C-alpha cells in the first residue's frame, strides 16, 4: 500500500477532529503504557502521548514512508516501530490501545478485537475510530470504476456499530461507548473530493492497479464530477464509527 504523507495531510485540519473526539473518550490515568496502531505520520501520536502524560507510548505502522516522518516526533518516551496490526503482539500489556483511522484496513474485527483485548492490562482501555463511508457516492463511484478496470472494490471490514457494542460486552469491558458520527467537510468545490479520497481510499486502488492507476484516476474524476455535479462549495459528509471500552 503506497501511503503518501503529503497527500494524506492535505486536509490535515479537517481530518483531525475525529482524533480529537476519540482522544476525548480516553480516561487519563497515571503511568500509562500506550500503543497507537496505524500511527501514520506520528504527529497525532505525539499529541495523544502529551495529553495523557503517558509514561511510554509506541506508535506502530507498516508504512516506511509514514514512519520516516513519524520518527521526527519521537523521543525516549515515545517511539515508532514498523509492524503489522494483523500480527501485532506484545509481551508487555498496555493501559491503552488506541487506533485512529486505521483498523478499517484490517480484516476480521471479531478476532482482531479479541486479540487486542488480550494485550490490555487490568483496567485497560481500548479506543478505536474508523471511517465507514462506503455508501457515499465518492466511494461507490470508485468501486464502480475499479470494477471496469478489473479491480475488486476495497473490502469493507467495518462491522455494524451495534456489533462493536456486543463484542465489547462479550470481551468483558465493564464500561463502553459506541457511536456513529457524521463529519461534514465544506470543500471549495465538488471536484476537491478527489483530492480528499486520494489521501486514503484511493491508495487501495493505486496498489491494485499499479501502472493503470493514472487512467483509473482520470476516469474516476470524470465519473465523480458527473455524479456530484459542479457544486461550489461542496458539503462532503463522512460517516465514522467511534468506540471506547474500559475494564
Ligand X SMILES: C[S@@+](CC[C@H](N)C(=O)[O-])C[C@H]1O[C@@H](n2cnc3c(N)ncnc32)[C@H](O)[C@@H]1O
Residues 221-240 that bind ligand X (CB under 6 A): none
Could you say which of 57, 63, 125, 246 contacts ligand X (CB under 6 A)?
Answer: 63
Q: Shortest gap between Cβ of 7 and ligand X (angstroms)?
A: 11
Per-residue b or e along 16-38, where b marks 16 or more CB atoms closer than 10 Å to that residue's CB: eebbebbbebbeeeeebbbbbbb
Q: Are strands 94-100 and 120-131 parallel, antiparallel or unpaired?
A: parallel
For residue 134, count other CB atoms closer than 10 A to its CB: 18
Contact status: 105 vs ligand X (CB under 6 A): yes
Measured from the CB atom, the residue of 19 and 173 that comes closer to ligand X is: 19
Q: Which of 46, 61, 74, 168 binds ligand X (CB under 6 A)?
A: 61
Asked whether position 57 contacts ligand X by CB under 6 A, the answer is no
Name the minimum Å distance from CB 87 to ligand X: 8
Q: Write down how long the chain is.
A: 247
Which span (56-64, 154-162, 163-171, 231-239) binds ligand X, by CB under 6 A? 56-64
Judged by CB under 6 A, the residue of 6, 84, 135, 166 near ligand X is 84
Question: Nearest residue by C-beta to ligand X?
Answer: 40
Interface residue with ligand X, options 106, 119, 143, 228 (CB under 6 A): 106
Quick check: 74 binds ligand X (CB under 6 A)?
no
206 near ligand X, rule: CB under 6 A: no
Which residues inside 13-52 make contact with ligand X, applying CB under 6 A? 19, 38-40, 44
**Cβ nearer to ligand X, comparing 100 with 117:** 100
Burial class (CB in 10 A: 0-12, 13-18, 19+), 102: buried
Contact between 85 and ligand X by CB under 6 A: the answer reads yes
* CB 61, CB 39: distance < 8 Å: yes
Under the binding rule (CB under 6 A), the answer on residue 54 touching ligand X is no
Distance, CA of 22 to CA of 25 (rounded, Å)? 5
Q: If we measure between CA atoms, which residue out of 70, 66, 80, 76 comes closest to residue 1?
A: 66
At 93 the three-state DSSP class reads coil
Q: Three-class SS of residue 198?
A: helix
**Angle of CA points 121, 116, 129, to nearest 5°:** 110
The reply to whether 62 sits near ligand X by the rule CB under 6 A is: yes
Give the footprint of ligand X on this chain (CB under 6 A): 3, 19, 38-40, 44, 60-63, 66, 84-86, 100-102, 105-106, 200
Amino acid at each position: 500500500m503506497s501511503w503518501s504523507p503529503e497527500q494524506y495531510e492535505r486536509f490535515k485540519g479537517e481530518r483531525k477532529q475525529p482524533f480529537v473526539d476519540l482522544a476525548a473518550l480516553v480516561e487519563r490515568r497515571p503511568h500509562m503504557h500506550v500503543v497507537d496502531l496505524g500511527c501514520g505520520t506520528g504527529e497525532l501520536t505525539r499529541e495523544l502521548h502529551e495529553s495523557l502524560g503517558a509514561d511510554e507510548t509506541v506508535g506502530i505502522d507498516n508504512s516506511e514512508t509514514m514512519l520516516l516522518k513519524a520518527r521526527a516526533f519521537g523521543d525516549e518516551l515515545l517511539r515508532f516501530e514498523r509492524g503489522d496490526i494483523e500480527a501485532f503482539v506484545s509481551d508487555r500489556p498496555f493501559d491503552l490501545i488506541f487506533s485512529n483511522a486505521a483498523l478499517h484496513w484490517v480484516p476480521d474485527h471479531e478476532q482482531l478485537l479479541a486479540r487486542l483485548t488480550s494485550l490490555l492490562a487490568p483496567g485497560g482501555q481500548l479506543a478505536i475510530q474508523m471511517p465507514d463511508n462506503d455508501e457515499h457516492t465518492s466511494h461507490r463511484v470508485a468501486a464502480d470504476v475499479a470494477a471496469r478496470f478489473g479491480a475488486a472494490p476495497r473490502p469493507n471490514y467495518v462491522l455494524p456499530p451495534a456489533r462493536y457494542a456486543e463484542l465489547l460486552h462479550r470481551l468483558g469491558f465493564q464500561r463502553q461507548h459506541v457511536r456513529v458520527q457524521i463529519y461534514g467537510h465544506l470543500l471549495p468545490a465538488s471536484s476537491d473530493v478527489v483530492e480528499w479520497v486520494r489521501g486514503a481510499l484511493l491508495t487501495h486502488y493505486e496498489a491494485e492497479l499499479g501502472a493503470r492507476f493514472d487512467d483509473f484516476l482520470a476516469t474516476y474524476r470524470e465519473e465523480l464530477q458527473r455524479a456530484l455535479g459542479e457544486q461550489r462549495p461542496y458539503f462532503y459528509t463522512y460517516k465514522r464509527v467511534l468506540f471506547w471500552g474500559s475494564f
